[in-house]
Every structure is written in structure tokens, then in C-alpha cells.
Amino acid sequence: MKTKLNEDARIKLAVYRPQIDKIITAISDYYHLSSIEIGSRNRFRGTIQARRRVCFYVKEYVHNCPLSIVGYILNHNRPFDHASIINYVKKHSQELNLKRRDGSFVYPELREEDYQLRRLIESRLMLNKLWIEDFANSSANFLISEAV
């Protein structure tokens, strides 16, 4: 069942959706899952890990994005509890920074995966940013030539 959003939430959704979709597609490509599987409520380990990564990287890369919007996009137009997203972010950051007494990381493979995911996400977001800048420049040049 789709929920009705107020005007403010619709504006935020329109602003943040392209960046969040880029992050979701990057992570779904990395884990070989579909974006529908990531947003589903199943409890398979790989799906939960991918969903946790999406929430963490959205919080990391999409600044000032409300968690309710992240949940709305992740759960395909149905409300998704923002408390779940907070727990996903907290759990991933704890796993990422968990150290032993000797100072070594408990999950070094997770840190390598984090590095690869960051490179993938940053490249996708940068491509989107370059495309928007090119479009803005070409539109500005067109408007200037029309004015002259």
C-alpha cells in the first residue's frame, strides 16, 4: 500500500532520490542483488548486509537526508521505520571499527570491502555530478546564445 506524502516530504524525495538510487544500484551491483531484494523485508544474511551498507553510505554521502526518506526509497514507497535505519548505520560502523586488544581489526575483509564500495559509489556519484554540470553549462550556453 502506498502512503501519501506531504508536500515537504515530496520535495525532499525529489531532491535526494537520484543520489540514493545511485548508491543502491552500486551496492546491488557489488552484491549481485536487485534493488527490490535490497529493499525487501527478507532476512537473508547477504540481503541484510547489503541493506545495512546502503543505509550507512547514504548517511555518509547524502548530507542532510532525512532517514524517513531513505526508508521510503528503500522499501519502495511504503514506510520503513527510521529506527531500523539508525540501527543499520550503527551496526555497520561498529563492525567496521571493531578492534582487538592488540589494535588489529576484527573484520579486515570488511574494511577492504568498504574501500571497494566507496570507490564504486564515489565514481557513480561523480558521473552523475559531471552529467548535471554538463547539462547546466549547455543550457546556460543555449540561453546566452538565445539572448544575443
At 6 the pLDDT is: 79
Q: Are 51 and 74 in contact (CB under 8 A)?
A: yes
At 16 the pLDDT is: 87
Q: Positive or negative, the Cα torsion across 111, 116, 117, 118?
A: positive
Per-residue pLDDT tens for 94-109? 988 888 889 888 888 9
**Whole-number Å distance between alpha carbons of 105 and 107:** 6
Per-residue pLDDT tens for 23-71? 999 999 999 999 888 888 888 888 989 999 999 999 999 888 888 888 8
At 141 the pLDDT is: 54
Q: Are 88 and 52 in contact (CB under 8 A)?
A: yes
